[in-house]
Structure 1
Amino acid sequence: MGSKPGKQGFSVEVPATASVADLKSAIALKKKHLYPSRQRLSLVSESSKRLTDETKLTDISNGLLKDGLEFKLKDLGPQISWTTVFLVEYAGPLLIHPLFFYCPKLWYGKNFEHSALQKYVFAFVMLHFLKRELETLFVHRFSHATMPWFNIVKNSGHYHILSGVLLAFDIYRPKYSATSPYILNTIRNDEQFLWICTGIWLYAELSNLHTHLKVRSLRPPGSTKRAIPYGYGFNLVSLPNYFFEIIAWTTISVMTNSAAAWLFTIVATGQMALWAIKKHKNYKKEFGKEYPRARKAMIPFLL
């Protein structure tokens, strides 16, 4: 069967039983730089609708394959895997925070005893990003295998600078040390307060993990299929993982009242809100009347 990608001046031959993924592979053989993940295919008649790799060409044409199909081909540019991007961006804080925590003289000009608050926050940050790395390797199943390569610069900047350098520099400085007036005889040095914060943070992190595992269970390996999630967290919002992450970072911000911690929490909340609203709209569009209408996008009853 002849398939012609848009008005690119070439055609490729694929079997009548081929899928969009097969067509992309055939295009890649003819145009070496256009490897499959770099391609976006849509019908010329429906140029705004992206065709998924699993789509069969016979389904597109309703079984009528006479003179071939005409597609619009868009070059998405150099790509990099989602897994690589996530591993690199989360690795930043895992490397940066120990440098500030264990080498205070290098950054602040002197050694000092860390307070219990600093030790708790250090543990929280390290465990959070270690969890994110493990989820990337063993939990997440991505709808798309790759993203534009520049995203690794943009995403890494967010994590390496805001939750890496700025957060570490601010929280591990002498102001928060064991002998600082900001800590001594205050709630920040109260063991009960620290344990309460630990309980809230741990609840948020475990709840976040639970939602990731729930979404994973709805997507078979090697598939981009989506289903409506129900149960804990999902009864109120479409993206409870974002909500629980906000709770975790807000806990750290309240514990320290650090300007850097609040900055990261606010920026991260804004970014997650944009993602949540977009994904919430996609859920409603994809599942229509089946999707629970009372759900909010990210924050119960509000957003």
Structure 2
Amino acid sequence: MEYSLQIADEFVVRLAAGCHTFHYVRRLLETRLIHSFSHGALPVDELVMNTFHYWTFGAWMSYFINHPQYTIPFYGETQVHGGLGIFTIGQIGNSSTHIALNNLELTDGKRKMVGPKKNPFTWLFAYVSCLNHTYELLPWTGFAIMTQTVVGML
């Protein structure tokens, strides 16, 4: 029985590392390929702050998830797969809204309000004004469910 729990622990830990890495690689690619900044580049002070935030939270999460006393989520595989599903939906939704926000149409020199498009991940624009922030919370909620860690939710 101990051996199967160890394999489950390793699976969750590796999955968490993969999800965490995927999230930040996606963010880096979006920053480079999708986002446009008013001055043509991300200001250095913001870059330093973002990097500090990512590294600090990444180290904090990995400490608890890789700790020898880390245990698999209470509801096991169901909880892990459910959290992974929420994480994935949030990642796709976040990218979809960033693309939609980047493709805003100009009308009389002003950007037009974003509304629902053909992409179903943008349909919530009819109800939520900052949908990208909503979709930013969703992956971390899924991550916290998947790893069953409070620090993942923070």
TM-score tier, shorter chain, comes to: 0.7 to 0.9
Shift of 1:245: 1.1
Corresponding residue for residue 86 of structure 2 = 200
134 and 147 in structure 1: CA distance in 2 versus 1, 3 angstrom threshold: closer
214 and 227 in structure 1: CA distance in 2 versus 1, 3 angstrom threshold: same
Write the deviation string for residues 83-108 of structure 1: whole angstroms up to 9, x where unpaired: xxxxxxxxxxxxxxxxxxxxxxxxxx
Aligned 8 A contact 2:82 2:146 in 1: no
The answer to whether 1:168 aligns with 2:62 is: yes
The answer to whether 1:211 aligns with 2:105 is: no
- What amino acid is the match of 1:169? Y
204 and 236 in structure 1: CA distance in 2 versus 1, 3 angstrom threshold: same
The correspondence of residues 128-207 of structure 1 with structure 2, limited to 5 A, is 128-146=23-41, 148-162=43-57, 164-176=58-70, 182-183=71-72, 186-187=74-75, 190-207=76-93
Q: Alignment length, in residue pairs?
A: 140
The answer to whether 1:229 aligns with 2:114 is: yes
Shift of 1:262: 2.8
The correspondence of residues 8-27 of structure 1 with structure 2, limited to 5 A, is none
The answer to whether 1:256 aligns with 2:141 is: no
| 1:115 alignment partner, SS class | helix
RMSD of aligned alpha carbons: 2.4
Aligned 8 A contact 1:212 1:241 in 2: yes
Which structure has the bigger radius of gyration? 1
Residues in 1 aligned to 2:150 and 2:82: alpha-carbon distance in whole angstroms: 22
Corresponding residue for residue 3 of structure 2 = none
201 and 262 in structure 1: CA distance in 2 versus 1, 3 angstrom threshold: closer
Question: Per chain length, whose mean CA-contact separation is higher, i.e. which structure has more relative contact order (CA < 8 Å, sep 6+)?
Answer: 2
- Taking every aligned residue pair, what percent have the same amino acid on both sides? 27
The correspondence of residues 15-94 of structure 1 with structure 2, limited to 5 A, is none
| 2:125 alignment partner, SS class | coil
Aligned 8 A contact 2:125 2:131 in 1: yes
The answer to whether 1:240 aligns with 2:131 is: yes
Aligned 8 A contact 1:141 1:219 in 2: no
Write the deviation string for residues 225-244 of structure 1: whole angstroms up to 9, x where unpaired: 52210002211111101101
**Unpaired segments of 5 or more residues in structure 1?**
1-111, 177-181, 264-303
| 2:124 alignment partner, SS class | coil
**When you count helix as a share of all residues, which structure comes out higher?**
2
The correspondence of residues 88-107 of structure 1 with structure 2, limited to 5 A, is none
Residues in 2 aligned to 1:219 and 1:142: alpha-carbon distance in whole angstroms: 16
**Unpaired segments of 5 or more residues in structure 2?**
1-5, 117-122
Aligned 8 A contact 2:81 2:146 in 1: no
Residues in 2 aligned to 1:225 and 1:143: alpha-carbon distance in whole angstroms: 14
Residues in 1 aligned to 2:100 and 2:60: alpha-carbon distance in whole angstroms: 33
The answer to whether 1:123 aligns with 2:18 is: yes
Aligned 8 A contact 2:84 2:143 in 1: no
